[in-house]
Every structure is written in C-alpha cells, then in structure tokens.
Structure 1
C-alpha cells in the first residue's frame, strides 16, 4: 500500500517523476513522467529495513 509520495525530476529529463513508499512490502515504486500527463513504471526498489525484535 503506498504511504508517501515524492515528486521531482529525478532523471533530469525536464519531466516530473513520482516515487512512492510501499508499506508492507518495504519497497519504493519509481514512475517516470512521460510529459503528456501519464507515468511509466520502471519497477520497484527493495529496501533493507531492520525490524527491531
């Protein structure tokens, strides 16, 4: 489930991109802006999160 969103030109192509955190799967989704109001998913980045016991 997405919980946080960041917007910026992360790949420096002049188009806004999205990155969001996903609770439960410990991943980040990366979506690149197309410049026409849509986004293309390039996949997930898995985070290494140490859960306290």
Structure 2
C-alpha cells in the first residue's frame, strides 16, 4: 500500500502525529530497507517480522 492509502489508518492510530511524522514512520517501515519492505517482510520460516516480537 502507498503512503496515501495508509494515511487514514495511520491518522486513526496516531492522531497526535503530523502528516510529516506519519510519512517518516511509513518510510521507516515500508521504504527501501524498512522492516516491512518486500525483501525484509518475511523471514526464512515464512513468518512476518512483526510476529517475531
């Protein structure tokens, strides 16, 4: 999903964050090398990184 598609959900979950802060969060999670980027989202066992916490 693009930042624009995610923005309403992110605003609902983080109402005190500015759009700029939300964009930085999105890039950290979904950008190149981010935790949820395609190349990093699933480990060898097929589990999402979010499930490893």
TM-score w.r.t. the length of structure 2 is 0.29
Q: Larger % of strand: which? A: 1
Larger RCO: Structure 1 or Structure 2 (Cα < 8 Å, ≥ 6 residues apart)? Answer: 1
Q: Larger % of helix: which? A: 2
TM-score w.r.t. the length of structure 1 is 0.29
